[in-house]
Structure 1
Amino acid sequence: MACASTINLVSWVFSFFVAAAMVCIIFFLTRKKSCSKNKKELPPGEMGIPWIGETIQFFKAQRKNRLFEDFFQPRITKHGKIFKTSLFGSSTVVMNGAEANRFVLSNEFKLVISSWPSSSVQLMGKDCIMQKQGEQHRCLRGLISTTLSHSAGMEALVPKICNSVQLHLDRYWRGQDRLHLYRLTKILTFTIVFECLLGIKVEAGMLERFERVLEGVFAPAISFPGSRFSRAKKARMGIQKMLVKVVREKRMEMEGGQDSDHHDHHHHHHQEGMLLSQLVAGMICGDITEEEVIDNVVLLVFAAHDTTSFAIAMTFKLLAQYPNSHSLLLQEHAEIMREKKSGEVLRMEDIKKMKYTWQVARESMRLFPPIFGSFRKAVADIEYDGFTIPKGWKVLWTAYGTHYNEEYFKDPLSFNPSRFEEHIPPYAFLPFGGGPRVCAGYQLAKLNILVFVHFVVTRYDWSLLCPDESITMDPLPFPSQGMPIKISPKL
């Protein structure tokens, strides 16, 4: 034990000196520059202390899941919708509002490019679509979205997702009277990505490995032994090994089966692990590389895993707090059940009837966005709203900037699913982002949420064990206690 803490202390002291040295260097560099200040006007705002900027205030607010209240709101009030700050060592302009969102998101590849911290890039992999620009991004994304948003592909996924959800409930819910909803839905979303999309059986320890990678994604990219980042890198190597094996087996199976019983084989693939088959097929034609296949599988798991389970958890939290909504939602599902013969599976047309359920889920994501926004980097000087954002600066758009704004949502802090019956202005509701990088897994997330809600509310009565449970963030939001609930099977 002592040894580990000494290493930690040494590494802490070391990183402190590195940081101090950098502060000095940057301080001198910036002092020289400010004399030759150009006449273009930067947005108002404070840059905080050298190098660190306002990162500490940002992290503090994030930990308490009060980014909007403690970080964005006070600065919007003081400086307006567009303000400058410095976060994670980069000069950053934060832009709020539907117009600003539209501007940032629709100018992807032209004025801005997606920009992630170096630790994220190293762990997700430099070959995933999060990192690709322009033409390369389009080609890869096209491959992925034919599976993830194509109606025939989705239609085929419905029974598989239903099956996964039912197996999950049998295994983790049956016979229990209390459980941790958030914790369990993480296992479920993980299983759905692997078994339904990739056709890979989930083995013991796989989920923990991915979680370890996730822990390092926003940690400083410092590789001394025992750091969050190096633990994450080690886990990433393990995942890499496992996936390389799976991808190569799949490739041999697909290449081998091409001559003999071509038709049969093709049909079988269509059923099992559609996305993986699509990607490996792209690899066989030489359109994409093995690294691209693997990095995108890792990204997919990462993107689906915490976000979907958080959206599900918040949906249940709000249903518990608003019994009227709960009973409206129950009626919708009872109606669907009435139309079905006993034991008959759900189909896409049943999912389409879950209109109110989807309003509840969207209202939950409006109030509790699974991702607060994302960073872009200016690839040219950008003129916007009378201000200049210099080339090389980061640009941050946020979901809070519109989700919590009177202008777009009347009485924004109240829970009101029926507001989604009316027209929502474009770029105001952004739990899935927008523009060319809009979430590729949007349809999958929707199916996952709706199917899960359906089976739970038709089979169980449930209530929150910690109604006042706080939401923390590290780096993504989660219920601090794992969302314990009490359940009893419906008769």
Structure 2
Amino acid sequence: MEFFCQSLLLLLITLIASICILQKRKLSGTKTLPPGSFGWPLAGETYQFLFNKIEHFLHDRLQKHSSEIFKTKLLGEPTVVLCGPGANKFISMNEPKVVKVWYLKTQRRFFNLPDQPPHAAAKPNQGAVASAPVKILGFLKPEGLVRYMGRKIESITHQHFIKHWEGKTELKVYPLVKDFSFALAYQFYLGIDAPHHVSKFGSRFDDLYSGIYSVPVYFPGSAYYRALRAASAIRIEIQCVIKEKIDALSKGEVMDDLLAHIVGAELSGKYVPKIEISNVIMGLMNSSYIPIAITLAFMIKQIGQRLDIYQKILSEHVDVIRSKGSGAALDWDSIQKMKYTWAVAQETMRLYPTAPGAFREAVEDITFEGFTIPKGWKIFWAVMGTNKNPNYFDEPESFDPTRFEKNVPAPYTFIPFGAGPRSCPGKDYTRFVILTFIHNLITKFKWEVVLPGEKVHGALIPIPAEGIPIRLHSL
């Protein structure tokens, strides 16, 4: 019996080894592939990617292979990970010529993106769908933000502080800024400020966001299951709002939210079907509110731990008030004067990145740094891979906003909003919201951090374990 078990085990090991060897030969052929490992059969290194901290996943392999390019297998796909300024420049300058966007199965299902074979020709109507984000860029640029939403963003921020901060002596920052960011997104994108709408769909969007980097296994209770149900409910909600917008606009009502802006274009025959509008809006909302909340939370923590940073930011904002006049609304000129505050925000994004990277696909065989990336292989573009690299940032673990004031980082070493034709369209919105919030906070309160050594959870995005509790003092 023991001999039989040992023989069976040996046979199993031999079979697995044979599968790995055959797979490697099939994938590599005669090409000089990057160093790396495809991991386990079928699973590859998906578990390590999804459930270990992303910076550890990258660091361990970069150290092992002494290269900023390595191969792996993620989500069933042979994948090359690119990490470094050269890679950042290469991807941003060669899209869509030699690389194109590739969506995870979760993204395709949640946002109704085309689930076509990798090299199939685009369907006739996909050009219009792909152009949808381009047509709204004017609304998301500084002049559009100030024109349509400047006073509303400041008003919502002001009301948030009255309701949740004033009169408090202790509070947890992260839950509050997350609620604020979501309520603002609801107003900005949908034109809705009704609290019951916001509270009803806040948890839905949380489920959707959590499901993006999940294993796409559909069973009750799984992150994918919850996210798929949330996406369906959100889409129905947005389409109801679209119908309301169409009815209101047809009656001559004036509305200045992003959805009304898009629906107005659609009514004049210049846009895309309503289902695509709902997908675009849902995608924009999903990608904006959590990153803003994370950046604000950790930024507030760092300011509360460093009196020198607090004093310098306060001085800058007092100067802004003096120059624009007390009571006057913030405009883009005021935002531009908050240079040090934005440097603090950038340093926060460097240490606590909210976007680990993005997937692309090789349109043709690519030669990069002497290695071949075969046509059809997936590329994980690790945009945050340079953030804590000592080759690009001195003392990378220290919080030092001056690195963004004086000798700014070298090109392509820090790209929190991506780079190239698909860089984040909401970067100006993010800047406007963060700086407006800090302006209201720093001119009203001083605070201390209760748990300086609070742990940070999350594999792909950082989440404060205890919500960043602080003690608050009114000025």
TM-score by length of 1: 0.85
Moved more, 162-171 or 396-405: 396-405
**Where does structure 1 lack aligned partners over 5 or more consecutive residues?**
1-23, 258-264
The one-letter code sitting in structure 1 at the alignment partner of 2:190 is L
> Within 5 A, what are the aligned runs for 1:125-274?
125-126=112-113, 135-136=127-128, 139-202=131-194, 203=197, 204-257=199-252, 265=253, 268-269=254-255, 272-273=256-257
Pairing of 1:287-306 with structure 2 (within 5 A):
287-306=271-290
Matches within 5 A, 1:32-47: 34=25, 38-47=29-38
Q: Decide whether aligned partners of structure 1 residues 451 and 84 sit closer, same or farther in structure 2, where only a CA change above 3 A counts.
A: same
Distance 1:25-1:437 versus aligned 2 partners, 3 A rule: farther
Query: Partner of 1:124 in structure 2?
Result: 111
Q: 1:183 to 1:25 in 2, by over 3 A?
A: same
Partner residue, 1:413: 397
1:384 to 368, 378, 383: 368
User: Aligned to 1:205, what secondary structure does the other structure show?
Assistant: helix
Provide the rounded CA distance (Å) in 1 between the counterparts of 2:170 and 2:414. 34
Tell me the distance in 2 between the aligned counterparts of 1:475 and 1:345. 37
Structure 1 pair 382–328 and aligned structure 2 pair: CA distance change class (3 A): same
1:350-380 deviations in whole A, cap 9, x for unaligned? 2221111001101111121111211212222
Alpha-carbon distance in 2 for matches of 1:339, 1:135: 46
Matched letter for residue 313 of structure 1: A
- Residue 81 of structure 2 aligns to a residue in which SS? strand
Report deviation, 1:196.
2.9
The aligned residue for residue 4 of structure 1 is: none
Return 111-120 or 39-48, whichever deviates more.
111-120
| SS of corresponding position for 1:402 | coil
Q: What corresponds to 1:393 in structure 2?
A: 377
The answer for the alignment partner of 1:15 in structure 2 is none
Aligned mates of 1:367, 1:163 — CA distance in 2? 30
Contact kept? 1:127, 1:292, Cα under 8 Å: no
What's 2:87 paired with? 100
How far has the Cα of 1:434 moved from its partner?
A: 0.9
1:307 aligns to 2:295 (yes or no): no
| Deviations 1:403-424 (CA, angstroms, capped at 9, x unpaired) | 2233332332322212223343
In structure 1, what is the equivalent of residue 47 of structure 2?
56
1:86 and 2:73 aligned: yes
Contact kept, 8 Å, 2:305 with 2:448, in 1: the verdict is: no
Write the deviation string for residues 234-256 of structure 1: whole angstroms up to 9, x where unpaired: 22222222211110111122233
- 8 Å contact from structure 1 (residues 116, 375) kept in 2: yes
Cα pair distance change 1:52/1:178, threshold 3 Å: same
Aligned length: 448
Structure 2 counterpart of 1:450: 435
- Judge conservation of contact 1:127–1:295 (CA < 8 Å) in 2: no
Report deviation, 1:135: 4.8
* Aligned partner of residue 250 in structure 2, secondary structure: helix
Q: Distance in 2 between matches of 1:395 and 1:469?
A: 34
The alpha-carbon deviation at position 222 of structure 1 amounts to: 2.4
Secondary structure of residue in 2 paired with 1:375: strand
TM (norm. structure 2) is 0.88
Counterpart residue identity of residue 78, structure 2: S
1:356 to 330, 340, 343: 340
Equivalent in 417, 421, 424 of residue 436 of structure 1: 421
Identify which of 262, 277, 284 aligns with 1:279: 262
How is 1:58-77 mapped onto 2 (pairs within 5 angstroms)? Answer: 58-62=49-53, 67-68=54-55, 70-77=56-63
**Change in 2 beyond 3 A, CA 1:196/1:37:** closer
Contact 1:181–1:484 (8 Å) recurs in 2:
yes
Distance 1:377 1:253 in 2: 42
Matched to 1:234, the amino acid is R
| Ranges in structure 2 where 5+ consecutive residues have no aligned partner | 1-14
RMSD of Structure 2 on Structure 1 (CA) = 2.6
Distance 1:150-1:71 versus aligned 2 partners, 3 A rule = same
What is the CA distance between 1:30 and its match in structure 2? Answer: 7.0
Report if aligned partners of 1:155, 1:348 keep a CA contact under 8 Å in 2.
Answer: no
Listed one character per residue, the Cα deviations across residues 163-190 of structure 1 (whole Å, up to 9, x for unaligned) are 0101111111122211111111111111
**Structure 1 CA distance for aligned equivalents of residues 143 and 27 of structure 2:** 57
Q: Are residues 33 and 336 of structure 1, via their aligned partners in 2, closer, same or farther at CA, if it must alter by over 3 Å?
A: closer
* Cα distance in structure 2, aligned partners of 1:96 and 1:486: 40
Secondary structure, counterpart of 2:415 in structure 1: coil
How many angstroms apart in 1 are the aligned matches of 2:445 and 2:17? 59
Decide whether the 8 Å contact of 1:47 with 1:85 is kept in 2. Answer: yes
Q: 2:330 aligns with which of 346, 355, 360?
A: 346
Residues in 2 aligned to 1:355 and 1:36: alpha-carbon distance in whole angstroms: 49
Q: Note closer, same or farther for the CA distance 1:137–1:150 as it changes in structure 2 (3 Å cut).
A: farther
Distance 1:444 1:180, change over 3 A: same
Letter in 2 for 1:241: I
Listed one character per residue, the Cα deviations across residues 127-166 of structure 1 (whole Å, up to 9, x for unaligned) are 79xx999954662122121100152443442211110101
Distance 1:30 1:146, change over 3 A: farther
